[in-house]
Copies of this chain bind each other. A is one copy, B any other.
Amino acid sequence: MSEDPKPKQMCVKVDRFYQIIGKKWSGPIIHTLLDKPKRFSEIHNYIPDLSKRMLNERMKELEQSGIIVRNVISERPVRIEYSLTRKGHELAEALNQMESWANKWL
């Protein structure tokens, strides 16, 4: 918006945005969790082109950024699921917009 008085400050935030979700596969990982929490293996099944090692790395980064959360469910055997935080859910909406554009125009 031309009425935004702080393009530089906005730029810093957008840079941080890219640092978080600009990494390859972060978008698909977030999307995978949009409908419901999933186990690591379920996420991997959805994105088989991504190695388990790389998926693990991205999951840790997204957890550190507060986008996803790791839930330990005390069943027997213990079940571990990943879900989006509120921050992550709202991000997914922004990603959808971005991807619709990419789908239409690229």
Distance to closest chain B CB from A71 (angstroms): 18
A97 contact set on B, CB distance < 8 A: 93-94, 97-98
Give the distance to chain B from A33, nearest Cβ to Cβ, in Å.
8
Q: Which residues of A contact B (CB under 8 A)?
A: 1-2, 4, 7-8, 10-11, 13-18, 22, 24-25, 27-28, 31-32, 34-35, 46-47, 49, 66, 87, 90-91, 93-94, 96-106
What is the interface of chain A mostly: helix, strand, loop, or mixed? helix
Per the bound structure, the CA–CA distance linking A105 and B13 in Å amounts to 9
Q: In the assembled complex, which residues on chain B have CB atoms less than 8 Å from the CB atom of A34?
A: 1-2
Q: A7 near B102 (CB under 8 angstroms)? A: no
Q: Which of B14, B47, B96, B105 contacts A27 (CB 8 A)?
A: B14
Q: Tell me, in angstroms, the Cα distance from A16 to B105 when the chains sit together.
A: 11
Shortest CB distance A74–B (Å):
26
